[in-house]
Amino acid sequence: MKKVILILVILSLILVAGCSPYKQAEPQAETTGIAEPNTIEITSSGFNPSDLTINAGEAVTFINKDTEQHWPASAMHPTHLLYPETGGCIGSKFDACRGLAQGETFSFTFNEIGTWKYHDHLKPGVYFGSVTVK
């Protein structure tokens, strides 16, 4: 009998402690002052933001937030030759070289100053944007 009472007292204390209005505050995430990398989300509505300004030498990360695949690449379709660094799979280094599945990313470091237009190689007439490099 004493064991049952002891268990009920312990359970009551746990219940009361969980309902207390004096709960400790959750710890807040600290900010380090370091800027997050430039990110462009690809959604069912297109690129967001579609126009981005960065400094030379900075990377931009494209992340597919859509359920369909998307393929970020330098304009112009289909050659991808607008960004002047050659390479990649078709013409320019600024090319993911494949469709990105949901949650996948493609990062590219822009070393050349200028405004560089890009598109979704899988939907070239629908999704497009630009990165201005200072």
Q: What fold does the segment set 38-133 form as a domain?
A: Immunoglobulin-like (2.60.40)
Q: Say what percent of the chain tops pLDDT 90.
A: 68
Calculate the dihedral angle through the C-alpha atoms of 26, 31, 36, 41, rounding to the nearest 10 degrees.
30
Question: What does pTM read for this prediction?
Answer: 0.72
- Computed over every residue of the chain, the mean pLDDT equals 81
- Give tens-digit pLDDT for 39-96: 999 999 999 999 999 999 999 999 999 999 999 999 999 999 999 999 889 989 999 9
In DSSP notation, the chain reads -HHHHHHHHHHHHHHHHHH-TTPPPPPPPPP-SPPPPEEEEEETTEEESSEEEE-TTEEEEEEE-SSS-B-EEESSTTT--SSS-B-SSSSBSSB--SPBPTT-EEEEEE-S-EEEEEEETTSTTT-EEEEEE-
